[in-house]
């Protein structure tokens, strides 16, 4: 197994938690202001949107909790630590987004059939404030979202809020200009389509990790060919490439080498090659000499990769 420093990972995790905490504080403050505005204006629409903001605040709170759990060291039976709590949080956030999208479609269809009176001026003002708040929150999470699937789930929530507020602002302006109230549900349907696409993408990536599929940017067949192309390597089998959590790919394999070859030197060379070519720095390689005149025992149905 390749040993490597986790200092960069700890710094990144700390940055993620600060970004999540900052975005959460902003959303909670805005949600409180929206409740006050809804009560003053006697607007059910604003109070309903505040309820939507509550689900987003809960999603950010879950992501912050998951990031804190993932930072705990491995101990006892938890040999990988709690890193996959982040993946679980991302999947919960993906499911939450999907439910919100369906709820928005349901409400939009009802409003298309029987449009209520919309206070376009209040809607426009609150939407503009929401755009400003979500722009800042999105910028806080944008960098971290590329590194952590957990933060990406929270980022998708905030980004969808930003798009929703932009759509609401446009709808409010059009209602003020034309008096046609159906602009509001039409904008909601467009936002629901974006939410559905985002949630499916997030669910697909988190499910891939849970099912221990290989990372999207690593082809196990190419990895196997690279291993057997090394000098003195005869065969490689039981090759597994998976993702422990986002940014943490891992590999294990059983490698057979020619009789008399230096197993330890070959293992070190293979580990170096896997880091340089594929970014796999968490590897477990069992390197043994091939038995002359005998066939290796296959532990799985996976066909072994032999040197040509």
Q: To the nearest whole number, what is the mean pLDDT of the chain? A: 82
Contacts of 152 (CB under 8 A, 6+ apart): 90, 145, 146, 202, 246
pTM for the whole thing? Answer: 0.73
**Concatenated DSSP letters of 31-99:** HHHHHHHHHHHT-HHHHHHHHHHHHHHHHHHHHHHHHHHHTSPPBTTBTTTTTTHHHHHHHHHHHHHHH
- CA 24 to chain centroid, in Å, comes to 18
For the stretch 33-82, pLDDT in tens is 878 876 775 555 566 667 667 777 888 888 889 888 888 888 888 887 88
Q: Which residue has the higher pLDDT, 108 or 50?
A: 108
Strands, sheet with 233-245, edge to edge from the N-terminal-most edge strand: 283-289, 248-257, 233-245, 305-306
Of all residues in the chain, what percent carry a pLDDT higher than 70? Answer: 83
Q: Which of 44-53, 93-102, 127-136, 236-245 has the lowest mean pLDDT?
A: 44-53
Domains and CATH numbers, the chain: 7-210 (1.20.1510.10), 220-306 (3.30.70.1350)
- Summarize the confidence of residues 18-38 as an average pLDDT: 85
Maximum CA extent, the chain: 87
- pLDDT of 281 over the 50 cut: yes
Per-residue pLDDT of 150-159, as tens digits, reads 888 888 888 8
pLDDT computed for residue 17 by the predictor: 85
Q: Is the pLDDT of residue 239 over 60?
A: yes
pLDDT in tens, 158-209: 888 888 788 878 887 887 888 787 877 888 788 888 888 888 988 998 999 9
């Amino acid at each position: 197994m390749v040993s490597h420093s986790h200092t960069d990972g700890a710094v990144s995790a700390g940055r993620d938690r600060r970004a999540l905490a900052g975005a959460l504080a902003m959303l909670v403050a805005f949600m409180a202001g929206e409740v006050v505005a809804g009560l003053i204006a006697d607007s059910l629409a604003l109070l309903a949107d505040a309820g939507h903001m509550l689900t987003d605040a809960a999603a950010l709170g879950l992501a912050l909790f998951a990031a804190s759990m993932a930072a705990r060291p491995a101990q006892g039976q938890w040999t990988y630590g709690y890193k996959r709590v982040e993946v679980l949080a991302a999947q919960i956030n993906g499911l939450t987004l999907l439910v919100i999208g369906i709820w928005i479609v349901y409400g939009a269809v009802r409003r298309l059939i029987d449009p209520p009176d919309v206070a376009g001026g209040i809607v426009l003002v609150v939407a503009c404030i929401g755009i400003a708040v979500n722009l800042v929150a999105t910028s806080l999470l944008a960098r971290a979202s590329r590194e952590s699937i957990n933060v990406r789930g929270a980022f998708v929530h905030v980004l969808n809020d930003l798009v929703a507020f932009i759509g609401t602002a446009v709808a409010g302006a059009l209602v003020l200009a034309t008096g046609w109230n159906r602009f509001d549900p039409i904008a909601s349907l467009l936002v629901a389509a974006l939410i559905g696409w985002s949630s499916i993408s997030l669910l697909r990536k988190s499910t891939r990790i849970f099912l221990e599929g290989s990372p999207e940017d690593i082809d196990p067949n190419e990895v196997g060919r690279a291993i057997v192309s090394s000098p003195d390597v005869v065969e490689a089998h039981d090759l597994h490439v998976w993702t422990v959590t986002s940014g943490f790919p891992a590999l294990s394999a059983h490698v057979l080498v020619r009789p008399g070859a230096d197993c330890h030197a070959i293992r070190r060379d293979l580990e170096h090659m896997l880091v340089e070519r594929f970014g796999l720095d968490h590897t477990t390689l069992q390197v043994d000499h091939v038995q002359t005149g005998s066939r290796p025992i296959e532990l799985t149905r996976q066909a072994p990769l032999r040197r040509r």
